[in-house]
A and B are shown apart, each in its own frame.
Chain A
């Protein structure tokens, strides 16, 4: 039982490049979300999804896109990377928003 799998674990991008952070869960969870974590800022919600085909914006969505074509996968796309997007990114999944959330191992992204 893999839980929540996030790839890659580390990534360095140049300003302006695009990339996709992958997130997959095998627990048949309906609710999935992406957070970024910066020192002193806690976990800030980027986008979330309450089920396949449904996504919505969190508190810091600018510069990021998501899609949820299947229950299992919830990729996060950086459209044109900026140094301000240097952060640690976590994907999480749960049955519903108010049930235990399982987090991936995180992706440490540096934009130079």
Chain B
């Protein structure tokens, strides 16, 4: 079935270090979204990528969508304690049942001050 694998599952960094999480889909995606969930909170939308090879930046966050539209990454430069949380990717399948999102299991980021 359709799957989105997200790695790593956990990441522990020192404040100021960089962080990257990766999503890999078994099928081509029409678009991919990224969400952040703070501990005890609900997922909050960060960004959506639609075009092959697309790169978008939000301050210290850089999002990429692969050329084949099967993988995506989120990179955080110089992490801060406010970056703590779980980051999820969610893709819409380009074929089959495209009326639901396929979610990765998330990457939990811990930042040591």
Contact = CB atoms under 8 A, between A and B. Distances in A.
Interface of A: 33, 40-45, 48, 50, 56, 58, 90, 92, 97-106
Given A42-B105, A42-B106, A58 B100 contact: yes
Contacts of A43: 43, 88, 90, 103, 106
Nearest to A35: B103
Contacts of A104: 42
9 contacts: A40-B105, A42-B88, A42-B104, A43-B43, A58-B100, A100-B33, A101-B33, A101-B45, A101-B101
The B contact surface, by secondary structure, is: strand
A97 B92 contact: yes
How many chain B residues sit at the interface, stated as a range, is 20 to 34
Nearest to A44: B103
B39 to A, nearest CB: 12
Nearest to A92: B43
Contacts of B105: 40-42
Given A98-B31, A100-B48, 10 more contacts: A40-B9, A41-B105, A42-B88, A43-B43, A43-B106, A90-B42, A92-B43, A98-B30, A98-B101, A105-B42
